[in-house]
Amino acid sequence: MGTNTKIYEMITGKILSLMDDGVIPWQASWTGGGFPTNMVSGKRYRGVNVFLLAGAGYTSKYWMTYKQAVEAGGSVRKGEKGTQIIFWRFLEKEEVNRDTGEAEIRRIPLLRYYTVFNLNQTEGINDPDEEGSPENDFEPIGKAEVIFNSMPDRPQIEWGRRPCYLPGLDVVGLPELEKFISGERFYKTAFHELTHSTGHSCRLNRSSIIDFQAFGSHEYSKEELIAEFGASFLCAEAGIVQPVIENAAAYIDGWAKVFQKDRKIIIHAAAAAQKAADYILGREQK
């Protein structure tokens, strides 16, 4: 079994373990009022790492490696267990192009992991948010409305429909706002459908939208997972609490079956969802 495959197995196992405990990782409460963030660099974690850290159950959004904790003048408390997250490294290999006979450099992606600890697991390190750092002063629903209205090249919205995205027409269908029992549920639904729309050929050209397959197919399941992840990213950006999913037990069981069949789907879907959320937010694609 290759290294990448082992890491896919490890990450999928972690997600399934959380789900067995009744936690839907992409519906987890976002710690510290924001995304999981590296304590030293200040950078937010991305992709599946967001769900692994948000589902770990700590109240601080700040994370760091053991070495970073020591360099910050503190330490990880004895007996604390870290949380494993992933990153990609690229191995450069020189190969000869069979067509031209010239040497070319090929970049081979290698999936790796490392261990981080939450600020709550450390001693001797101050919480930046308790040292007078400015707090967000936006209204959560107001921020959600800005995200909804500011998406670049947003598809046409047709009100009065059931929630859906129609790729052939590039149309998002949504019930009127008053049909929802809360604003949070409306925005979560809207963000789900807008995430689908980023797959259109005029945007991110995602195969699971371009080459749409039957309901229940593997590609359909992957696209639905991308939309769920994307909606979670955007809800977190807006600072709104994720609405409760009805029939959660059946929902969890359904996704567990998908994960068991394809150990890579969580990581790939989370990466695609991050790209979709960045597009909706008008951020530079990475």
Domain extent at residue 1: 1-131
- Answer with the one of 116, 131, 146 that is the final residue of a domain: 131
Q: Residues 152, 101: one domain?
A: no
pLDDT tens, residue by residue, 261-271: 777 888 888 89
Cα separation of 278 and 194, whole Å?
12
Least confident window among 48-57, 83-92, 135-144, 209-218:
135-144
Alpha helices in the chain (DSSP H): 3-20, 48-54, 66-71, 140-150, 183-197, 207-210, 218-238, 248-261, 265-280
Do 157 and 283 fall into the same domain? Answer: yes
Question: Does 160 lie in the same domain as 117?
Answer: no
**Span 197-225, mean pLDDT?**
82
- HSE value, Cβ hemisphere, 13 Å, CA-based, for 266: 30
Name which residue leads in pLDDT, 227 or 6: 227
- Share above pLDDT 90 across residues of the chain, in percent, rounded to a whole number: 32
- Write down the pTM of the prediction: 0.66
One domain for residues 142 and 240: yes
Query: Quick one: 175 and 219 in the same domain?
Result: yes
Of 131, 153, 187, which one is at a domain's C-terminal end?
Answer: 131
The two three-digit tokens of residue 23, written as one number: 């936690």
Output the DSSP codes for 14-38.
Answer: HHHHHHHTT--GGGSPPGGGS--EE
Higher pLDDT, 238 or 139: 238
Domain match, 161 and 283 both: yes
CA pair distance 243, 187, nearest whole angstrom:
10
Residue 104 shares a structural domain with residue 225? no
pLDDT at 139: 45
What's the pLDDT tens digit per position in 215-254?
A: 556 677 789 889 988 888 888 888 776 544 443 445 555 6
The residue among 80, 98, 131 that closes a domain is: 131
Mean of per-residue pLDDT scores for the chain: 80
100 and 234, same domain (yes or no): no
**DSSP per residue over 65-86, as a string?**
-HHHHHHTT-EEPTTPPPEEEE
The residues, ordered by sequence, that sit 6+ positions from 44 with a Cβ below 8 Å of its Cβ are 35, 36, 37, 38, 50
117 and 165 assigned to the same domain: no
Shared-domain flag, residues 63 and 159: no
pLDDT average, residue stretch 111-123: 92
Written as one letter, the residue type at 194 is L
Same domain, 53 and 157: no
* Confidence class for position 82, pLDDT limits 50, 70, 90: very high
pLDDT of residue 245: 41
Amino acid letter, residue 16: L
Looking at the 3D structure of the chain, how many domains does it have?
2
Same domain for 226 and 267, yes or no, is yes
